[in-house]
Structure formats: structure tokens, C-alpha cells
Amino acid sequence: MLINNKNISDELISKLISDIKKKKELSPVKDSLVQEELLKFLKQNTKILERFLKEKAEKSKEYELAVKTIRSTLRKLHGAFVMGVDYKKASEMISQGKIDEVMQMHESTKPRICVYQSLYKRIFSITGKPEVIVDLGSGLNPLSYNHLGCKPKYYAYELSANDVQLINLFFKKSGIDGKAEQKDLQNDLDLPKSDVCFMFKILDGFKMTSGPKFVEKLITTVDAKFIVASFSTATISGKRMRYPRRLWLEKMCERLNYSIERFEMADELYYVIGK
Ligand SMILES: C[S@@+](CC[C@H](N)C(=O)[O-])C[C@H]1O[C@@H](n2cnc3c(N)ncnc32)[C@H](O)[C@@H]1O
């Protein structure tokens, strides 16, 4: 396979993909997705790419580093949250109205269940109650609609077709004026206008894979009065991060002349950005 005009053997690429996926929680991730992240990584890390052209590449510390870094990117982007959701069971539960139980199945919504009402109260005390919400990389967050405390039109965009299907089922069963659509935000930023745009737990992953310029493009392109971006304050092992603030985002907003307020709730740091 040609990467930056260097020919890396297909065997090495296959071995890397299979080693990356050896962690149980990453085994369901599609090979094509792992390969995509691997290629991006190797294009940016030329020293590692050079080492992979030499002998015994699979025994090198560069190999180990590549496996570790890509695992961490995948966890951020597609990790635990796509795992563990039994979509067949979840659809049945949606039909039975057991919405909170479905949100319990998803790593991102689970810790918010107890705080959703206070969370939305806090957000809307800054933004005002929205008439239109756009939720990007939504996961199952739109299932929290009934905790919003208002009835906005709700647009959700998500890469996972399973999530999209589940959300649309929920909207239909609950008579909500909402629509979920499958979209790869890294390639398509054609989005409707909104009062509030949620970017919950997506920006760390996008920054890692597509760089801070892409995050800036996303933030500046989105046609919303307010953006609410959230970040985990816990490490993968569950300990509190020593420096949870995302100073890069704070500085970006300052440079763009956007207002920014932050607060923490249930191991999550929220930034409410006014455009
Ligand atoms: C950490 S989860 C957060 C889910 C949700 N925002 C929440 O906090 O409850 C990240 C989500 O982003 C989605 N995602 C990752 N890359 C994406 C892309 N390029 N376009 C759209 N969604 C993406 C994943 O499928 C996953 O559902």
C-alpha cells in the first residue's frame, strides 16, 4: 500500500489492524475504519512510516506506539459508546417506552441520566429555550428529548446507522418533531440553522483525527446561535483528569470573538459558546 509515496506491505497493514483490534472493546469496529485511522496516522508520522519500511517493523517500539495511539483515537471516536448496545433489544424497549433503560446501555448517555433535567436547565439558562436543536455525533443523546423542558424541532446527525434508526423510531413513537440522519461530519457539513447546536463528546476525537483546523471549521461553519460542546473529565481508567479544561478551545473562542462559559456536571465539562 502506498502512503506518502512509500510502499508499506499489505501484510504489515493487516497485522497492525488485527493487533489494534485485539482489545475486546475494539473488536467490533470495522476493519475499514481502523485502516482509515491508521493511514491518517502514518501520513502524519513520517518517522514511524520510515521505520515500517525496515526489517522487523512489527517488533519495533514505533509499532507499539502506532497500535497504542490508534487504539486511543478509536476509543475516543467510536469506542465504548458503540459497544454494548444491543440494538434489537433497544428497539423493543423503545417500543415499550423504556427510554431511560436504553440510555443506560450507552456509555455517553448513561452517566447523564440522573442529571439531564438540571443539565438542560443550566444550558438553557444561558442560551434561552431553543426552538431548533441540532445534535452532532448525537449517539443516543436525542433519547433525552423528554428531559429538555421544552419542545424544539430536533435534528440529529450521526455516523452510526444503528443509532440513527433507533432515534427515528423513538421520535416516531413519541410524536416528536425530530429527524435523525446518517452523516459523516468529517466530509459533509451541510446542516440546518439552529438556536443551539450540541457537540457532546465529539471534539476531542475530531481534533485527534482531523486536527484543530477541522474543529475550528466545524465551529465556525455551524449556523447556530449557541454551541454546547462537552468533554469527559475522566481518563479511560476512570480517574479524574489532572487538567480537564480544554484550553485550546477556550483560546480558539477568544480569538474568534465568541463568548464562552463553562461548567461541570457528572464527570463532564461543558462549554456554552455564543457566536
Ligand atoms: C463519544 S460519542 C458521543 C455521543 C453523544 N454525542 C453523547 O455525548 O451522548 C461520539 C459519537 O460521535 C459519532 N461520530 C464519530 N465520528 C463521526 C463522524 N465523522 N460523523 C458523525 N458522527 C461521528 C460516533 O458514532 C459516536 O456516536
* C-alpha span between 142 and 82 (Å, rounded): 15
For a substitution probing ligand 1, which of 77, 184, 217, 270 has the most ligand atoms within 8 Å of its CB? 77
Atom of ligand 1 nearest to the CA of 186: 19
Which band of pLDDT confidence, cut at 50, 70 and 90, is reported for residue 107?
Answer: confident
pLDDT band, very low/low/confident/very high, at 83 (cuts 50, 70, 90): low
Tally Cβ neighbours within 10 Å of residue 218.
22
More confident position, 205 or 96: 96
Unique residue bearing C-alpha cell 507499539: 64
Q: What does the angle CA 27 – CA 33 – CA 34 come to, to the nearest 5 degrees?
A: 60
Maximum average pLDDT range among 64-73, 97-106, 160-169, 259-268 = 259-268
Q: Which three-class secondary structure string do you get for 233-255?
A: CECCCCCECCCCCCHHHHHHHHH
d(CA 167, CA 143): 7
Q: What is the CATH number of domain 87-274?
A: 3.40.50.150
Q: How far is the CA of 7 from the centre of ligand 1 (A)?
A: 33
d(CA 238, CA 267): 9
Pick from 115, 133, 158 the residue to mutate for probing ligand 1's pocket: most ligand atoms within 8 Å of its CB: 158
Strand, coil or helix: 67: helix
Q: What mean pLDDT is reported for the chain?
A: 92
Residue 78 φ/ψ region, left for φ over 0, alpha for ψ in the -120 to 50 degree band, beta for the rest: alpha
The per-residue pLDDT for 239 is 85
Is the CB of 137 inside a 6 Å radius of any atom of ligand 1?
yes
Cell numbers standing for residue 259: 463568548
Residues 108-157 pLDDT 10s: 898 899 999 999 999 999 999 999 999 999 999 999 999 999 999 999 99
Q: Helical H runs in 6-86? A: 10-20, 31-44, 46-51, 61-82
Domain spans in the chain, listed from the N-terminal domain onward: 2-82, 87-274
Q: How far is the CA of 137 from the centre of ligand 1 (A)?
A: 3
Q: Beta strands 178-182 and 259-265: pairing type?
A: unpaired
Q: Where are the alpha helices (DSSP H) in the chain?
A: 10-20, 31-44, 46-51, 61-82, 87-95, 99-103, 116-127, 161-174, 203-210, 212-221, 247-255
**pLDDT score for 80:** 44
